[in-house]
Amino acid sequence: MTAVLDQSADAGWWRLDERALWSVGERVEACRRADYVRQVEVVAELWNRTSRSKDDQSVMVADLMARWKITRNEAKDLLRHAELFRREAVHEAAREGLLSKQHLIVIDRTLAEAPEPDRDEVEATLLEKAAEFDGSKLQQIAHRILQLLDQDGKAPDDRELAEPKRELHLSSRKDGSVDFRGHIDQESGAKLEALLSPLAKPTSASDTRTTPERQGDALAEIIDLAAGSEDLPKEGGERPHIALTMSLEDFLAQRGTADVEGMGPMNATSVRRIACDSTVMRVVLGAKSEVLDIGRAARTIPNQIRRALIIRDGGCAFPACQRRPRQCDAHHVIHWASGGPTNVDNLVLLCGAHHRLVHHSHWTVKINEGRPEFIADPDRG
């Protein structure tokens, strides 16, 4: 094995065929697992030389971080797995190379949550499955095992049901985008998953978005759908809306930025996209920043025209996209700010992803004999 691995010394991997490269990779993975087992065994010996108190644990983690230049989480994992190796079957399976670090993480956490009388049986099941599945799949199996052991779960008390814990933390970034994190109760979480699932499906066989990207786009669509609801509450006497303020000259030239109320600047091309078919309050300024026009907060596209678009396009008109009409915006082929009319011959239904694509990439659209036609323009790419 050493002779094969030494190929890296002179960057000679190119000399190996594909089969040999896969073989080397498998051996490297085996070495990596074996090295981690030895490292855990070293930590176990060091740990056994202490009184194993809570203070000793803190000191051990700090020493591991300082001496081996690893993170706190990595140090804690090593210490937990040193404890886990006290279970002979787990230690032996790890020595045989059957367990990756991720396998050990799953086994350790699962055994900690499993009822004491069931832990030996849970351990045996996990070790059996670890030989067949990777750490991610083993985590799913472990979750299912814990569910079966406690099918009813923790019974919520009346206060938890009456006042479920929900939190949402928002922070704006310099570019105007928003980071968020939070927690919602089980019932609300189930509703959210039900809403995200149909919207997060790939739009076509050629959809290259990752699952997190599709879920992010789905959440944005849910926000759009909620923003269009007639049941939203008022704030300060007004229904929820987006207020965009920029100079007329910059808006027409598609340059500069607009001030988005409460969120800071937004680039001009995004403003033009939003203005296609949204509930916005447009405030247009003159050369001396005087207010030239305050657009009424209303949807740009009248309902009767939108119904005609639905009949013609059926949903997102982009090739192979299957988004339904309620998931689509009406896009002006020739923007209304450039003199484009708001009629069926100058409009096309586009889902959020393809609406952004048309506005911000090399794709363009035109109406050809009453039907939308999409064109890839390399000069815009």
Q: Quick one: tokens of 121?
A: 């049986």
- In this predicted structure, what is the pLDDT of residue 72? 93
Q: pLDDT tens, position by position, for the chain (381 residues)?
A: 444 455 444 558 888 889 999 999 999 999 999 999 999 999 999 999 999 898 999 999 999 999 999 999 999 999 999 999 999 999 999 999 999 999 999 999 999 999 999 999 999 999 999 999 999 899 999 998 988 887 555 555 556 556 778 899 988 787 768 899 999 887 788 888 888 888 888 877 778 888 899 899 889 888 877 776 666 654 444 444 455 565 656 655 666 565 655 555 666 666 666 666 554 444 545 555 444 444 444 446 777 888 888 889 989 999 888 888 877 888 888 876 666 777 888 889 988 888 888 877 888 888 888 899 998 876 655
The pLDDT value recorded for residue 305 is 82
Sign of the four-CA dihedral 84, 89, 94, 99: negative
The pTM of the full predicted model, rounded to 2 decimals, is 0.43
Give the helix/strand (H/E) hosting 291: strand 291-294
The torsion region of residue 62 among left (phi > 0), alpha (psi -120 to 50) and beta comes to alpha
Residue 207 phi, psi (nearest 5): -70, 115
Burial label for 21, CB within 10 Å (0-12, 13-18, 19+), is middle
pLDDT of the residue at 48: 93
Residues 4 and 24: beta-carbon distance below 8 Å: yes
Q: Which residues have C-beta within 8 Å of that of residue 183, sequence separation ≥ 6?
A: 165, 166, 167
Report the pLDDT value the prediction gives residue 157, as an integer from 0 to 100.
57
pLDDT of residue 296: 40
**What one-character-per-residue DSSP string does 127-140 give?**
HHHHTTS-HHHHHH
- Which pLDDT score is estimated for 248? 58
Tokens matching residue 142: 């472990």
Q: What is the DSSP string of 69-108?
A: ---HHHHHHHHHHHHHTTSHHHHHHHHTT---HHHHHHHH
